[in-house]
Amino acid sequence: MGIQISPSILAADFANLERDIASVANADWLHVDVMDAHFVPNLTLGLPVLERIAQVSPMPVDAHLMIEDPDHWAPKYAEAGATSVTFHYEAAKDPVAIAKDLRALGARASVALKPGTDVDVVLDHLREFDMVLVMTVEPGFGGQSFMPEMLPKFTALRAAAEAAGHDLWLQSDGGVSRDTIEDIAAAGCDVFVAGSAVFGADDREAEISALRDLAARARPA
Residue 33 annotated to the active site: yes
Residue 203 annotated to the active site: no
Report, in angstroms and rounded to the nearest whole number, the Rg of the chain calculated over CA atoms: 16
Q: Which member of 20, 33, 130, 190 is catalytic?
A: 33
Contact 154, 143 (CB under 8 A): no
Alpha-carbon gap, residue 220 to 187, rounded angstroms: 8
Quick check: helix, strand or coil at residue 26?
Answer: coil
- Using a 10 angstrom Cβ sphere, with 0-12 exposed, 13-18 middle and 19 or more buried, the burial of residue 217 is exposed
Contact 174, 134 (CB under 8 A): no
Q: Which member of 20, 62, 130, 173 is catalytic?
A: 173
Name the helix (H) or strand (E) containing 132. strand 131-135
Alpha-carbon gap, residue 105 to 21, rounded angstroms: 25
The residues annotated with a catalytic role in the active site are: 33, 173
